[in-house]
Structure 1
Amino acid sequence: MTMLTVHLPRRFSSLTRAPGRSIESFQNNRIIPLSSIRVTKDSSFKLRCIRKDSNHKASQAFSVLKTDLQSDNGSTWSTMAFYVFSLHIPLSFGGLSVVAQLLNQTHLNPDIQALSLLLIQTLELGAFMLLLQFSEKPFNILSFFKTRVFPKERNWLLASVIGLGFLLAFIFLTSFVADKLIGPKDVNNPIMKEVLSGGPLSVFWLALVYCVVTPVLEETVYRGFLLTSLASRMECKKAVVISSIVFSATHLSIDNFLQLCVIGVVLGCSYCWSGTLISPFIIHSLYNLLILVVTFIS
């Protein structure tokens, strides 16, 4: 008969003795027939808990974000809903129309469009920062950009290089495949194309919007606030995916939804790994700069 030697503590509820089986006890070991051991529901439950806990620890080991914020789930989503429907959509998608009505013009010239975009994005950023200060648990925006003391292999510069390299490789690969399967695609941002065709001043204002103000705004909202709040209540990978879906959805672009999701995942991972918004800000800014250059020369 096959024998299994195990050390049993005095209280061991996960292993039970089958009826009719004998257990021969020794001073230090108890020799139990293998066929007489059966795993109870309690032990299988413990195994599942251990496996889940190990996966959670591995996920949290990747992230250096704080998990003791104790943020309220309802407050997080109510803040996001107010921002999206009361600030983001009206300003980002209707701001230029309001400016045109105020100036009593049917069409804005490139310089005014670029300057208006800068003012609108700055207003949206300021309004969101003010919104966070009046939330139940105010966030310190500047703390998101602070560099914390981590090992050298976790510095924000390395995270920026890795994230940007992966993002550019993904974008070029998907663009190449799309061009082969569907064909070349026209520029889907006519406002950007029109402003870039203006003078140097309009190009400067537009670059300031897309490479500075917009990255600061979106990284503060979707990574600094939303991802940080979610990561305090769930695994890092789930928080990154959810925040990336929200980030993509609020751009209201069906054609670019998947691509924006991947961009959000890259930015979210760089934030979780480095612990500072400097890394995703640099990636976001350089990516937008590349888009401006490609749009300008196309």
Structure 2
Amino acid sequence: MLLAVSAAASHPLLLAGGRGGGAARPHPRTHAAKLEASNGRHLRSSLSTLSCACSPSPPSGDRGTGSARNLFDELSVLSPAIPWEVDDIWRIYAGYFFILHIPLSFGGLEVVAKVLQRSSLDSMTTVISTVILQLAELTLTLALLQYTAMPGHAIQPFYSGKVFTERSWVKETLLGFAVLMALVSTTSIVVDKLVGFEDAYDPILKEILSESPASVFLCFFLYCVIAPLSEETIYRGFLLTALSSSMKWRDAVLISSLAFTAAHLSCKSSIQLFVVGCITGLAYCRTGTLAASFTIHSLYNAVVLCMALVS
């Protein structure tokens, strides 16, 4: 119920004192002013009471909808406190994307081939170089996030709070992974029905997995540890957290998932990547720890690698 509260202003009463030993009698004009002020206070008090009694209450249906909306909004446990200025979020992300991600993830292997003076890289050299490039990208990303943080704010305790939490996250992680696999399987079947079957596995990846046990181990280490750690750090730990500090968390999940999908530059896997971004973002918002989103991301990549290995 909306309450209309009115507060009457207090003014000092000026009394004109009479001469002699008798009690002071108010001047006629002063007495009239007192009566008018008193009547005004009574009138405003009556109007306030009437307003309180007559203010419309929201219908029960609206109250129920509002409670459901509040419950949905409270599903996120993320804190709005972030070490970066809200106005700098997209400038920071653009710096990461164009200065670090594109050159290292999509142009790094070409630089390695030129440095080694080779026209092409063999499977083992490719996976080792990719591991080094991904570690370099993660290290430089953390340096960029620290450099762009507000003065006096360190990102090390910020990310420590996003990893170590007292809240249980195992149940939400298992549920999120199960939902993710169901959604990815469904979307894959739908896409195959609409556009026809197409091998979704990268031939270079399949070649690496069939090279040797060492290349298989490095490939799993790359896609199940380094890549999820790097991507969860930037897309959930930074972008989603920063966006949710100035907008509703579900909008932040959608926007960060779109950015996560676009960063892979893969139209063929865009639907699956968007689903991965949404599920990991939801798990992160629900648990408040990157351990949940990292585990889901890592398990998903492991399943994809296993399917590519046996295909």
Q: Is the pair's TM-score, using the shorter chain for normalization, greater than 0.5? A: yes
Counterpart of 1:160 in structure 2 is 173
TM-score by length of 2: 0.76
The match for 1:100 is: 113
C-alpha distance after superposition, 1:200-257 (max 9, x if no partner): 1111111110000000000000000111111111111111111111111111112222
Q: 1:143: Cα distance to partner?
A: 2.7
Aligned to 2:107, what secondary structure does the other structure show?
helix
Cα 1:101–1:165 change in 2 (3 A) is: same
Matched, 1:120 2:136: no
* 2:155 match: 139
Gaps of 5+ in 2: 7-45
- Which residue number in structure 2 is paired with residue 254 of structure 1? 267
Count of residues in Structure 1 that have an aligned counterpart in Structure 2: 261
Pick aligned residue for 1:180 from 173, 190, 193: 193
Of residues 267, 270, 279, the one that matches 2:292 is 279
Deviations 1:241-281 (A, max 9, x none): 11111111111112222221111110000000011000111
Aligned to 1:64: 77
Question: Contact 1:247–1:261 at 8 Å: present in 2 too?
Answer: yes
Deviation at 1:180, TM superposition (A): 3.1
Q: Tell me the alpha carbon deviations over residues 26-69 of structure 1, each in whole angstroms, 9 at most, x when there is no partner.
A: xx999x9xxxx998xxx99xxxxx99986774343100110233
Secondary structure of the 1:62 match is: coil
Give the aligned partner of residue 216 of structure 1. Answer: 229
Bigger share in strand: 1
In terms of mean alpha carbon deviation, does 202-211 or 247-256 score higher?
A: 247-256
Q: 1:9 to 1:142 in 2, by over 3 A?
A: closer
Say which one has the larger Rg: 2
1:192 matched to 2:192? The reply is no
TM-score by length of 1: 0.79
The answer as to 2:101 corresponding to 1:88 is: yes
SS in 2 for 1:186: coil
Structure-to-structure mapping, 1:259-274, within 5 angstroms: 259-274=272-287
- Deviation digits for residues 51-93 of structure 1, max 9, x if unmatched? 9986774343100110233742221111100000000011111
Aligned-residue CA RMSD in angstroms? 3.0
Would the aligned equivalents of 1:70 and 1:232 in 2 still touch at CA under 8 Å?
Answer: no
